[in-house]
Structure 1
Amino acid sequence: MLTFLSDLWPLLLGLIQFTAMAGAAVHVMLSKSDERAAAGWLAVILLVPFLGWLVYLIFGINRIQRRARELRARHVGELLPVPPPARVAGETVPDGPQVREMESLARFGWKVLPESFEGGNAIRVLENGDEAYPAMVEAIDTAQRSVALSTYIFNNDLAGRMVLDALTRAKARGVRVRILIDGVGCYYSHPSLMPLLRERGLNHTRYLHSFMPWRMPYLNMRNHQKILVIDGRHGFTGGMNISEGNLIGSDPRKPIRDYHFRVEGPVVAHLMHTFAHEWNFATGELLDGPDWFPELEEAGEITARGLPAGPDMGMNPIRWTLLGALSEARHCIRIVTPYFVPDQTLRTNLSLAAMRGVKVDIVLPETNNLPFVDWAATPQLEWLARAGCRIWKTPGPFEHSKLMTVDRLWSMLGSANWDGRSLRLNFEFNLECYGASLASRIDDIIEHKIASARPVSGKELAARPISIKLRDAFFRLGSPYL
């Protein structure tokens, strides 16, 4: 018997190897959309005996998207409140001068995400926490029915307690308060604000919070959205967290420049819908009825819609809308972002736009609060500069703004950065806006930043010492996760 087994084990081992190798190869061919990635993984699986398929099993399978879909699937079939229904194909673009000049982009966007475009909105720019936090506190203090707040970071500091006190006053008046904080972002300050939220009896929860490593709570699938909705009527969104670093006027130890936006009009329902969806996912509670979704009247001339995005979506609506805007641009593209590590497709489209004669300005902070992200971005900047993109580095304080305009008619604002974490791994929320008044206002802001910024040429980037180039090239390898 032992002799028989000793003769049989090589055959069994070979059968296991063949089955695992064949299964991994089939998975690669069916799941990898990038031909080069598929060919590379097939080479590893077929040419590295026993270890190749094991390496693919550990590192090659996209578990992030699968895990996100599994989590979301628990809520499939549940009734969620929705904004006005998306229009049918012939009605995707409301008529009016705000969108007529970029109608093809709007039609493309509707195919990417069939969410309705809402006309009649007003969007006000708020600079730094000095303007944003008082406006948010004032709005919370006027709340009569409901307050919905979603944020990545809610620090236990001057800014955090300012908002916390307003939320406490709203609860005391009988207002329905819901607070959603990311499970990682809630610990950015020490001590955390969480004990104070519990002490004051505010209805709150942490998004995907767990100390169990196998639940992947820390690196991926973060809720990076910044949404505040008052009575379902008055909205705030943008890229600003709740932190005293944004209170530039108070001379904080680590100042952060940023912009937030006050939103009025029908598109506020899109902010509220996104919050309600994430709150339902995190707590199981359904937010519905006029306290959260009242009838909304027109308040301005901007046409806009919300773009929620996350790793559970096959086509990331924010990323695809950016690609559409880059291809539609005819005159100018302006981008401000703190973290600029776009994938190859985005880089190629930026280069093509510049080579077509479109003026492409990319405004980045001179000193990044995450240096390794800046290092990973630098090799890509050299390529973009050679294509004709103009790269600018702004002096301190650290620039956390996330702004984009095209042809002084279209603008994008919200929580997403130009990196793989925002466009592939996190849950984000942006507003896509059609309106010359808003785009021109944001353009003026960007031009003001450029006026004090330092231009970065391709020649300067090419002249970096070899040691710096090696460092940057090493960190570029991790760019999909930065």
Structure 2
Amino acid sequence: MWWSENLESIIYTVLLSAHLISMLMVIGVMIMENRNPLKSLSWILVLLLLPGLGIVLYVFFGQNFRKEKIISRKGLKNHDYISNIAHAQTKALSESIWSNDDIIKQMEHIIQLQLNNSDSVITYGNKVTLLNNGKEKFDSLIEELQKAKSFIHLQYYIFSQDKIGNTIKDILIQKAKEGVKVRMIVDDVGSWELKKNYFKELRSKGIEIYSFLEVRFPIFTSKVNYRNHRKIVIIDGLVGFLGGINVADRYINGGSTYGIWRDTHIKVEGDAVNSLQYIFSLDWYFVSRKELADSKYFPDKKPAGNKLVQITPSGPDTDWPGIMMGFFKIITTAKKYVYLATPYLMPNESMLMALKTAAMGGVDVRVLIPEKSDAYITNLSTMSYLKELMLSDVKIYFYQKGFIHSKVIVCDDIVSSIGSANMDFRSFEQNFEVTAFIYDEDFAKEVKETFVDDFADSQRVILAEWRKRPIKQKAKESFARLLSPLL
């Protein structure tokens, strides 16, 4: 019969038609969402180059959940309390109640922005300790963990079962045995090496531990692209840690491929710890459906120092990309200099224009990145931006003494930013991140000095030499750049 003789052709036609219809539906959804055209075009390229597989990748990695609010804050006591404070502080700024505070006067534009986009309240009386490497961070963290009396809250993207990971695990088990309440969140993708037995062991010792957005088919597969990249520890509501350092030996001992992972963390004491606790409590409610609203988690504190700190979260649960907007404001309002360190440099159009505009306007803009990366395609994409930036007088430095993994900005000896967010699409739009904005001259100068040391351990990229790269290399970088919104 005719149909049996042409079965292969019929099947091919049906499959091709189904693929074209599916692809058109996906493209239609992207258009209706009014996305960034660059990101939409990147996905269209994937759909065209990878028939069938492209649609699967889009389902897993391409959907936009910001408007859906992956984590709803509605009705949570902590959220209502923080929002009320933020609104009161916004009113105080608008009425110039704090006009006699010189730092607030200078930084009002950034402070107001963070209050409006993410309810990031201003906290006074803080002590902030700069931790410039893994050893400093873990020595300080272990010391504070051992002093815990009431509770320990930890949240990490990567928590490894290596020497430092097991050291911290043993401390947590001991503190739980002493009656300290230990709560722990790890990202399900970042900490995928942790097996079920690991969770069973900790739970058997009285530790509450959850994976964030578990990748289990079919429940969360569409959200596999939205990861919790935060690194937060709160101890007794009095001491907090945040920054770029995960729990892994490579931050102490390095490795044969990249050497020591150079990273930055901070320890905070004072009211800023309450802001960290608020962020942790939202994530804890999402994974456990339990709200941490008791006043013991937000204890009253005497001033620990004189630092003004604003802790800002961002992620697909917020209306605005708060951290990106903060970075943008710092760069575009800089008058003298902006120093920036990031392991992955794939700025969106807004951030790219901000860096170029500042540099062309006479601001000393310096960007510190690794020469070798732990992600091949990401590194290729990073390299594609360098010529354009250098043509705009942005100074690029390749870190030589290991792998630079810090996420740090310092500007004009007055504002610093240290946290978990990289300078890329993923951190700005998809990951759950947290960053501290510190408004303090002495601290900014301290951060600036660490950049001076890092620049001494780096090689500045010279534009004339950079242009001499082989055509093949430039082509690979340009192709990788097309994928930068998806990396």
Aligned positions of 1:150-229 closer than 5 A: 150-188=155-193, 193-212=198-217, 215-216=220-221, 219-229=224-234
Tell me, yes or no, if the aligned pair for 1:112 and 1:321 is still in contact at 8 Å. no
The answer (yes or no) to whether the contact 1:310–1:424 under 8 Å persists in 2 is yes
1:403 maps to which of 396, 399, 408: 408
Q: Shift of the alpha carbon at 1:344?
A: 1.5
Rate the CA distance shift 1:189–1:127 in 2: closer, same or farther, 3 A.
farther
Q: CA separation in 1, counterparts of 2:351 and 2:206?
A: 45
TM-score of the superposed pair, with normalisation by structure 2: 0.85
Q: Partner of 1:91 in structure 2? A: 92
**Corresponding residue of 2:478:** 473
Could you tell me whether the CA contact under 8 Å between 2:254 and 2:261 is conserved in 1? Answer: no
CA separation of 1:305 and 1:37: change in aligned 2, threshold 3 A: closer
* Higher mean displacement: 370-379 or 60-69: 60-69
Q: Are 2:50 and 1:31 equivalent residues in the alignment?
A: no
Q: Could you tell me which of 418, 424, 433 is aligned with 1:419?
A: 424
Whether contact under 8 Å (2:258, 2:402) holds in the other structure is: no
Q: Which residue number in structure 1 is paired with residue 78 of structure 2? A: 80
Residue 91 to residue 59, structure 1, CA distance change in 2 (3 Å): same
Could you say if the C-alpha distance between residues 191 and 90 of structure 1 is closer, same or farther in structure 2, counting changes exceeding 3 Å? Answer: closer
Rounded to whole Å, the distance in 2 between the matches of 1:160 and 1:41 is: 38
What is the rounded CA distance, in whole Å, between the counterparts of 2:334 and 2:272 in structure 1? 24
Residue in 1 aligned with 2:284?
279
- Closer, same or farther in 2 for the Cα pair 1:166/1:98, shift >3 Å? farther
Distance change >3 Å, CA 193–CA 103, structure 1 → 2? same
**Is the partner of 1:86 in helix, strand or coil?**
helix
What is the aligned counterpart of 1:433 among 427, 431, 438? 438
Superimposed CA distance per residue, residues 4-57 of structure 1 (whole angstroms, 9 cap, x where no aligned partner) = xxxxxxxxxxxx9xx999998986665315467789999xxxxx9xxx9xx999
Partner of 2:241: 236
Cα deviation, residue 227, structure 1:
0.6
1:214-251 deviation line (CA, Å, top 9, x unaligned):
62378411111111001111111111000111124999
The 2-side partners of 1:276 and 1:211 are apart by 24
1:112 has 2:121 as partner: no
- Post-superposition CA distance 1:155-185 (Å, at most 9, x none): 1111111111111121111111101111112
* Contact kept? 2:163, 2:249, Cα under 8 Å: yes
Distance change in 2, residues 1:247/1:436 (3 Å): same
Name the CA distance, whole Å, in 1 between partners of 2:258 and 2:43: 47
Name the TM-score, length of structure 1 as normaliser. Answer: 0.86
* Alignment partners' CA distance in 2, 1:377 and 1:40: 16
- Structure 2 counterpart SS, 1:143: coil
Pairwise CA distance, 1:108: 3.0
1:79 aligned partner, one-letter code: K
User: 1:114 & 1:162 partners in 2: Cα distance?
Assistant: 36
Provide the rounded CA distance (Å) in 1 between the counterparts of 2:197 and 2:208: 16
Q: 1:435/1:182 Cα in 2 relative to 1: closer, same or farther (>3 Å)?
A: same
Moved more, 404-413 or 213-222: 213-222
Q: Report the equivalent of 1:13.
A: none
Shift of 1:191: 10
How much does 1:127 deviate? 2.5
Matches within 5 A, 1:296-335: 296-335=301-340
1:303-361 deviation line (CA, Å, top 9, x unaligned): 11111110232321001111111111000000011111111111111000000000000
CA distance, structure 2, for counterparts of residue 193 and residue 410 of structure 1: 41
Judge conservation of contact 1:115–1:305 (CA < 8 Å) in 2.
yes
**C-alpha separation in 2, matches of 1:320 and 1:371:** 28
Question: What amino acid sits opposite 2:85 in the alignment?
Answer: P
Please tell me whether the aligned partners of residues 380 and 481 of structure 2 are also in contact (alpha carbons under 8 angstroms): yes
Instruction: Tell me, yes or no, if structure 1 residue 65 matches structure 2 residue 64.
Output: yes
> Is 2:352 the counterpart of 1:347?
yes
Change in Cα spacing, 1:335 to 1:188, as seen in structure 2 (3 Å) is farther
Deviates more, 1:202-211 or 1:438-447: 202-211
Alignment partner, residue 269 of structure 1:
274
Change (3 A) 1:238 1:192: farther
Q: CA RMSD in A?
A: 3.6
Correspondence for 2:366:
361
Q: Give the letter for the 1:76 counterpart.
A: K
Offset at 1:427? 0.4
The separation in 2 between residues aligned to 1:412 and 1:229, in whole angstroms, is: 19
- How far 1:259 sits from its partner (Å)? 1.7
Amino acid aligned to 2:484? S
Aligned residues of 1:306 and 1:429 also touching (Cα < 8 A): yes
Counterparts in 2 of 1:58 and 1:471: CA distance versus 1, 3 Å: closer
Task: Work out the CA distance in 1 between the residues paired with 2:166 and 2:398.
Answer: 33
- Match of 1:433, SS? strand
Q: Is residue 366–residue 393 contact of structure 1 (8 Å, CA) maintained in 2? A: yes
Task: Return the alpha-carbon distance in structure 2 between the equivalents of residues 197 and 23 of structure 1.
Answer: 45
The structure-2 alpha-carbon separation of the partners of 1:390 and 1:234, relative to structure 1 and needing over 3 Å to count, comes to same
Question: Compared with structure 1, are the counterparts of its residues 40 and 337 closer, same or farther at alpha carbon in structure 2 (3 Å cutoff)?
Answer: closer
Contact 2:409 2:417 in 1 (8 A): yes
How far off is 1:201 after superposition? Answer: 3.4
% same residue: 26
Q: Which amino acid aligns with 1:461?
A: W
Q: Secondary structure at the match of 1:391?
A: strand
Letter matched to residue 374 of structure 1: N
Note if 1:452 corresponds to 2:457.
yes
Q: Which runs of 5+ in 1 are unaligned?
A: 1-15, 43-47
What amino acid sits opposite 2:363 in the alignment? V
CA contact 2:43–2:58 (8 Å) conserved in 1: no
SS at match of 2:369: strand
Name the SS of the counterpart of 1:277 in structure 2: helix
Deviation at 1:186, TM superposition (A): 1.9
Alpha-carbon offset, residue 63 of structure 1:
5.8
Q: Size of the alignment, in residue pairs?
A: 461
Conserved? CA contact 1:394–1:454, under 8 Å: yes
Aligned residue for 2:346, secondary structure, equals coil
Q: 1:45 maps to which residue? A: none
The 3-state SS of whatever aligns with 1:291 is: helix
